[in-house]
Chains A and B, each alone.
Chain A
């Protein structure tokens, strides 16, 4: 009892009050730091797992059956990759739309160096377009509009291209984005290489450096 009285008397002195406040502050800070540390494993448990990280292997695709003007979608890392063999008319159309594009030279867009050209393809086989079919706006997969001519979405004198159904972004047949649409970058060209005349390896271009 007497010790209680002593401490309550001690409380009223300014020195004790500030000391108490300091210790309370220090304890609270220690709690906050501990809580932050405790949150780390929980937060990190939500990042991509080792299994997800290992799942990104390159995929092979044999495009010998792909006729001029035909397109297929191949899955790589869970994402759709377009492989399109463009016709000479389609290739000619690429130059006619340059004025309408936001980034015709692909200066702000993502592609390997060997695909930074108007066709956005390997110069050896520049009619073959290999492209992530993922809209650079919000990640939908744009619909192919391969036909030349009037199209409800692409416009009256469409030279063919890709139209994103989600938010109306338009791309040409090299995945270059049109001006004044929600997307502002060209679609991504993944690294790729030719294993032989008809087989393409998507996701790996090591051989180019060798």
Chain B
């Protein structure tokens, strides 16, 4: 064995890579519950790729065969039901884990300097994952698949001038059709997974360059022993590989529990309208996207003509307040350019355009997090009260938007969704202010 490793290491940096990223990769010793979700998302990525390969062996990307081939997998292919449920429920599990992973980043300041790139790459992964799951959802060619794709592709229609041509190009036809199904299959099984794997690799490369943060939000690299090893660091392997194994087992107990005993998840994980084949003449009575898209779907639906008045008023209030804010002159000029653009767009575009733009902005603002957060401390443990209140409101608004998006619209729910939409954006827009308010607690020298 020794000879073999010597032979290998002269030709390939095997031991070096193992040490740099596992055996001598120093990790803070105080990771808590929230730090399981990074490794869990890798586990699910592998699971989705493996189950996906086996589904591809039986699935047919053709509008006349697709729905029946999924039923064939469910009924006739040995263990096909298990592979398909693992994959379909795996998509939901992926988003549960990713949302918790992102929340961890938010409360412990994981996105802050010098980890901005880790956060940005992560946000791109999130967007790629949404594309991946959206295109995968068309493949069973159920009625919800069909109309979901119809609605989402139509979003591109609002782009001035090129929109209709662009959505026609995406569909490859004038309506969602065989051409659309076939290309979504291509994107879902090869193009996006390749991109995802590259992005995940970059995410980890960027993370290992700067090292993980921890629940205390302080750098372990600032206290090293004589050998240059962080005093509060422990080797990722074996310490965290063993600890993460426990997390993975617990995750599998819950995940497989759902797969075996509750695969349709009360109509949330597998929607009942997708048990009927696509029908281009009949929109399902209450169309809902999968649960992980519903917060954004609510923001889309919240945009009505009345809401634009609210949007205009809020912009006007911001414009009046801006001169009184203590900041650089260039920041104020930039703010006023922003208000001007909003004002012009309010005159030119209608509620439909704003709905799509707000939905897109809801994701774009996530990318800005590292620069919006001005708090002197990173971890929520030492943050001032206003930040804790803001995070609580944000989480409640996000969950409410998700809940509202799963149900049909009414006059009341529209107002609720509009309120939550304002709160969602306020969390980001006001972040540079409230993160500097109040008294932060003193940060410890070493991990606690």
Contacts and interface: CB of A to CB of B under 8 A. Distances in A.
A is bound by B? yes
Interface of A: 43, 46-49, 52, 56, 73, 75, 77-80, 133, 137-143, 153, 164-168, 179-184
A167 B284 contact: no
Counting from the closest, the 5 A-B pairs by CB-CB distance are A168-B409, A78-B175, A139-B154, A141-B283, A80-B281
A167 B409 contact: yes
B199 to A, nearest CB: 22
B74 to A, nearest CB: 27
A13 to B, nearest CB: 39
B435 interface: no
B304 A143 contact: no
Contact of B280 (A46, A79, A153): A79
A138 B155 contact: yes
Nearest to A139: B154
A49 B172 contact: yes
B444 to A, nearest CB: 50
Interface in B143-184: 147, 150-151, 153-155, 157, 168-175, 177, 179, 183
Contacts, number: 100
Contact of A183 (B173, B280, B281, B352): B352
9 contacts: A48-B168, A48-B171, A52-B172, A52-B173, A78-B280, A138-B352, A165-B285, A165-B408, A182-B355
Most chain B beta-carbon neighbours within 10 Å: one of A133, A137, A181: A137
B175 A180 contact: no
Contacts of A49: 172-173, 179
Contacts of B306: 180
Given A46-B172, A141-B281, 16 more contacts: A48-B173, A52-B173, A52-B174, A75-B281, A78-B175, A138-B352, A139-B157, A140-B151, A140-B287, A165-B287, A165-B408, A166-B147, A166-B283, A167-B300, A167-B409, A168-B408
B175 A140 contact: no
A162 B169 CA distance: 29
Given A79-B280, A140-B287, A182 B174 contact: no
A142 B352 CA distance: 16
Nearest to A48: B173
Classify the interface of chain A: helix, strand, loop or mixed.
Answer: loop
B151 A139 contact: yes
Contacts of B179: 48-49, 52
Contacts of B150: 138-140
B301 interface: yes
Nearest to B171: A48
B151 A138 contact: yes
B287 A80 contact: no
A93 B37 CA distance: 58
B350 interface: yes
Contact of B283 (A52, A56, A75, A142): A142
Given A56-B174, A138-B155, A180-B304, A46 B408 contact: no
A180 B151 CA distance: 20
Given A140-B147, A140-B150, A165 B284 contact: yes
A183 B284 CA distance: 18
B414 interface: yes
A92 B337 CA distance: 50
Interface in B316-330: none
A77 B171 CA distance: 14
Contacts of B283: 140-143, 164-166
A138 B350 CA distance: 14
Contact of B154 (A43, A138, A168): A138
A138 B408 CA distance: 16
Contacts of A139: 150-151, 153-154, 157
